[in-house]
Amino acid sequence: MKKRLFITSDYTTADEIKKVRKELHLTQKEFAEFINCSKPTVERWERSTDVICGPIVLLLKMLQKYPDYEQEVKIPEKEWPLRIWYMHGQDVCTLIDVNEQERKIKIRNYTDKIMFRAFGVVENPDYNQYQEFLASRCFPESRDKMKLILKDLGLPFYDPIMIIEKTEGRMAEDAFWLRIER
């Protein structure tokens, strides 16, 4: 007999998949998006009379043990006109919702690593801190030959949000970037 290293199950069943999906209150389509597979795959699993193997077995066990995880990674409804996704590679670090008219900002951090959060340890940043953050993801306003850089970007004047829309707030020294959603 092969020596086992872990206590994980070898397989799961259609009933177990349905049970976990329903406990999470997700449709087949939502569950497929959550576990990063296609809806037909979830449908096939849930109709199957055979055992189901693969990474889904471990994922189901983890979701049974930590059912709140789905809520931790869920994207909240967009309340205000501007949403900024602060990313590190493909990972979402912080969602920033902004109401520019009322100068209000709400954030949601998706990482425990303080260095990867848009505002570090600050949980409720104010509008000035938001503006400082935007400026930190752009070249400095005092940069030599700034007008030439703005011309290359097709911008009439220095505005951090406009610069970020063009450059995605990318910097040479890190893997962070911003995606703006209006």
Per-residue pLDDT tens over the stretch 86-119? 999 999 999 999 999 999 999 999 999 999 999 9
pLDDT at 4: 87
- Note every long-range contact of 45-51, with CB atoms under 8 Å and residues 24 or more positions apart, other chains counting: 45/14, 45/17, 46/14, 46/17, 46/18, 46/21, 47/14, 48/13, 48/14, 49/14, 51/10, 51/11, 51/12, 51/13
Q: Which residues of the chain have pLDDT under 50?
A: none
Q: Which domains does the chain have, with CATH numbers?
A: 14-73 (1.10.260.40), 82-181 (no CATH)
pLDDT of residue 78: 93
- The pTM (predicted TM-score) of the whole model is 0.86
pLDDT at 18: 97
